[in-house]
Structure 1
Amino acid sequence: MKIYTIGFTKKSASKFFGLLRVAQTSTLIDVRLNNVSQLAGFAKRDDLRFFLAELCNMTYAHHPELAPTQNMLDDYKKHGSGWSAYEEQFLALMQDRRIQNTLARDQVDNAVLLCSEDKPHQCHRRLVAEYLARHWGDTTIEHLT
Structure 2
Amino acid sequence: MGKGPAGERGEHRVVYTIGTGQRTLDEFLSLLVLHGIETLIDVRRYPWSRFEHFRKSLLASELEKKNIHYLYLGETLGGFREKGYEEHMVSEDFSRGLEELEKASRVSRAAFFCAETLPWRCHRRHIARCLIRRGWKVVHILDEGRTWEEK
Coarse TM-score class (shorter-chain normalised) = 0.7 to 0.9
- Residue 128 of structure 1 and its aligned partner are, at CA, apart by 0.8
Which residue among 85, 91, 95 is the counterpart of 1:90?
85
Structure 1's consecutive aligned runs of 4 or more residues displaced over 2 angstroms after TM superposition are 68-72, 97-102
SS of equivalent to 2:119: coil
1:67 aligns with 2:78: yes
Decide whether the 8 Å contact of 2:15 with 2:138 is kept in 1.
yes
In 2, distance between residues paired with 1:90 and 1:100?
A: 13
- Residue 106 of structure 1 and its aligned partner are, at CA, apart by 2.6
TM-score by length of 1: 0.76
- Residue 126 of structure 1 and its aligned partner are, at CA, apart by 2.2
Amino acid at match of 1:118: T
Decide whether the 8 Å contact of 2:17 with 2:140 is kept in 1.
yes
Q: Which has the higher contact order (CA 8 A, sep 6+)?
A: 1
- Residue 120 of structure 1 and its aligned partner are, at CA, apart by 0.8
Which residue among 59, 62, 66 is the counterpart of 1:51?
62
TM-score by length of 2: 0.73
Q: RMSD of the TM alignment (CA)?
A: 1.9
CA deviation profile, 1:81-132 (whole Å, cap 9, x unmatched): xxxxxxxx31331222364455242313421111000111111112112212
Q: Could you say which residue in structure 2 is the equivalent of 1:76?
A: none
1:143 aligns with 2:112: no
The number of residues matched between the two structures is: 125
Q: Could you say which residue in structure 2 is the equivalent of 1:106?
A: 103
Cα distance, 1:71–1:91 mapped onto 2, change above 3 Å: closer
Cα distance, 1:23–1:142 mapped onto 2, change above 3 Å: same
- Residue 70 of structure 1 and its aligned partner are, at CA, apart by 4.7
